[in-house]
Amino acid sequence: MSWCCFFCLQWATLRMERGAKEKNQQLYKPYSNGIIAKEPASLEQEIQEMRRSGSGLGGAEFDMSDIFYFCRRGVESIVDDEVTKRFTAEELESWNLLTRSNYNFHHISTRLTVLWGLGVLIRYGILLPLRVTLAFTGVGLLVFLTSIIGLLPNGGMKSFLSEKVHLMCYRICVRALTAIITYHDSENKPKNGGICVANHTSPIDVIILASDGCYAMVGQVHGGLMGVIQRAMVKACPHIWFERSEVKDRHLVAKRLSDHVADKSKLPILIFPEGTCINNTSVMMFKKGSFEIGCTVYPVAIKYDPRFGEAFWNSSKFGMVNYLLHMMSSWAIVCSVWYLPPMSREEGEDAVQFANRVKAAIARKGGLADLLWDGGLKREKVKEVFKEEQQKLYSKVLVGAHPASV
């Protein structure tokens, strides 16, 4: 069945490309890494080189032509932006009969349009209602059964039932997405007394991992339906929920996490250190908080195959309901999960270095780009500290030959 679907999508892509070529239409938006060729060089070297090519002089004093260096670098950063494009869905090089996977789709041929329309009827008329029913069933059972288990006294029986209920309900929710998941290296699965860290593409990363093993979740207390689910879950299993006023208290957060991992009877904590969703092409900066605790870290790499459905959540563009509608009206969610060997902080290694080492291992295993940028740039402006670093580098160029004037 999957091969039949794959060949059907391939035929649609070929037919669409042929029709677009006949009409001189552009199907795909350019998306590449490093479209500007740049030689690795320091700020001082580049400025001195520019001065010599312009006036034949390479002094250390301020030169009006230095302005052009910063203008050029600014334009290059805009054209060859490797940050903001990580927060939008990457357009496929093949078409999967989902119009939203190629925004340049136009009427190409009658057969292709009929096939696309038939796909819409199947996805929205058959698959979507079934998936919504399964999703409500899974969430309803999770709330009801965890509330019942919460009435039992703490002990081995309660932990056993809680684990079985969580696995069952998460697997029902996975079926609601028609998720096809391949787990690799299961011998490295997280164990009690540790922290599981993974790259973050979508809110469903949680159920992708939790359908293969139980975790203690970490998050902020919510209201509404999410609040009902959180209160029911914590009755059956020691999850870690923070009030809004507690989230910014780093010492309190670290203490709660440390106390949890110190108890070897409690489930491993699941954390996404990026703090925001990245578009399945890269891994961005890991927050150092979860790496300061001093416990064993279990890295996990998650990579989605976008050919059958786009899992990335652009929270700046789509609300949760709209996003779930897109997910449940896709053909399927296909992904691979790699459990990496456990890692510990080495002697003389600080939390930032440890976080970067874990991030690099995840990026390498998942075939993702390893970026140093903070995912917080998705909604925030560049921090002043980054601007100050460039100012300090330039000041060294100016005072390099005149140390007495410092």
Q: What is the DSSP letter of 87?
A: G
Per-residue b or e along 36-53, where b marks 16 or more CB atoms closer than 10 Å to that residue's CB: eeeeeeeeeebbbebbee
| Cα 299 to Cα 74, 191, 356, distances in angstroms | 36, 12, 12
pLDDT, average across residues 266-293: 86
Cα separation, 68 vs 396, in Å, equals 18
Mean pLDDT of the chain: 77
Cα separation, 151 vs 133, in Å, equals 28
Cα separation, 264 vs 282, in Å, equals 33
∠ CA 235-246-312, nearest 5°, is 75
Q: Pairing relation of β-strands 216-220 and 240-242?
A: parallel
Structure tokens at 402: 């005149």
Cα separation, 388 vs 403, in Å, equals 20
**pLDDT, tens digit (0-9, with 9 covering 90-100), for 310-325:** 888 887 777 888 888 8
Helix axes 110-120, 2-22, angle to 10 degrees: 140
Distance from the first to the final alpha carbon of the chain: 73
Cα separation, 125 vs 195, in Å, equals 41
Which of 15 and 334 is assigned the larger pLDDT?
Answer: 334
Whole-structure pTM value: 0.75
Q: pLDDT exceeding 70 applies to what percent of the chain?
A: 66
pLDDT at residue 33, rounded to an integer: 47
Provide the pLDDT confidence category of residue 226 given band limits of 50, 70 and 90. confident
Q: Which of 9-18, 24-33, 159-168 bottoms out in mean pLDDT, i.e. has the lowest? A: 24-33
DSSP characters over 162-173: HHHHHHHHHHHH
Q: Which of 152, 330, 165, 325 is nearest to 233 (CA)?
A: 165
- Cβ within 8 Å of residue 24, ≥6 positions away: none
Q: Which of 59, 31, 77 is nearest to 386 (CA)?
A: 77
∠ CA 184-123-313, nearest 5°, is 55
Cα separation, 304 vs 287, in Å, equals 23
pLDDT at residue 358, rounded to an integer: 93
Cα separation, 205 vs 215, in Å, equals 12
Q: Which of 132-136, 178-182, 396-400 bottoms out in mean pLDDT, i.e. has the lowest? A: 396-400
- Cβ within 8 Å of residue 192, ≥6 positions away: 264, 265, 266, 267, 268
pLDDT at residue 24, rounded to an integer: 57
> Taking the CA atoms of the chain, what radius of gyration do you get in angstroms?
25
Which of 406 and 32 is assigned the larger pLDDT?
Answer: 32
Give the number of other CB atoms < 10 A from CB of residue 221: 15
Domain ranges of the chain: 110-378
Q: Pairing relation of β-strands 333-339 and 179-184?
A: parallel
